[in-house]
Structure 1
Amino acid sequence: MTIYSVSTLISIVFLLIILELVRRQRLREQYSLLWIAFGVLLFIISFNVALLERFAMWLDVKYAPALLFLFGLLFCFALILHLTLVITKLSNQVLRLTQEITLMKGQEQQHEQND
């Protein structure tokens, strides 16, 4: 079995797992799109050996299947950046909500003292 067949098989299994996770609502649709896009890209590159070898020749890579790992690594970096942005946004929202709750509790205490 060649690295291309293994990679094609892995990409198909990967896509099926992602679709099952979405179906069971264990993975939100907005995040699944990124994973599905990666799985489809991996499948296309794995299935089309000529395309992968053209990329390798263009990038002057001596061992074409190494590009599969490069694409995977680049995807991981993109995913980490995306998740960092999501975490930052959520942290800001939690901070804002905490401040609003504190202000509301302070106002409630003032109303209790005035009554």
Structure 2
Amino acid sequence: MIIDLVGFLVSLIFLIVVIDLMRRRLLLEQYALFWLGMGIVLTILSVSPGLLNRVAKVLGIYYAPSLLFLVGFLFMLGTMLHLTVVLSRLTNRTVRLTQELGMLKSQLEMADHRTALTERSEPLSNG
């Protein structure tokens, strides 16, 4: 079955890419475990057609290898939701930090202005 071989090769290449990204420290550990888990699930399902067929039959899927794509799709959907939550959190944090920076900059400018006024109003000392 050519589709089983393709599924296995794709999941194996996926695992190799994830491990390489971890090795080069381009993927944080919290996300790496998530991706490794997905790669392992896909590899197990693609290596054991019997398990894949049983799970597909229980779920009412007639063409068992399409279960691999369904699992991958659901995983990607979950990942997109998670990353959207992270992005929203980071956006809120950036807005808050920008506002705090603006307030600090304003306070610094006011303090500089007061210092300049104080220096001008002091009488010049002779001597």
Q: Does TM, normalized by the shorter one, top 0.5?
A: yes
Per the normalisation by structure 2, the TM-score is: 0.85
User: What's the counterpart of residue 85 of structure 1?
Assistant: 85
Structure index of larger Rg: 2
Q: Percent identity at matched positions?
A: 43
User: What's the counterpart of residue 40 of structure 1?
Assistant: 40
Structure 2 runs not aligned, ≥5 long: 116-127
CA distance in 1 between counterparts of 2:12 and 2:30 reads 20
Cα displacement string for residues 56-105 of structure 1 (whole angstroms, at most 9, x for unaligned residues):
11111111111111111101101100110110111011011001101101
Residue correspondence of structure 1 range 9-88 to structure 2 within 5 A: 9-88=9-88
CA distance in 2 between counterparts of 1:6 and 1:101 reads 53
Number of equivalent positions: 115
Structure 1 runs not aligned, ≥5 long: none
The Cα of 1:29 is off from its aligned counterpart by 1.9
Runs of 4+ in structure 1 over 3 Å off: none
RMSD: 1.2
Letter in 1 for 2:89: K
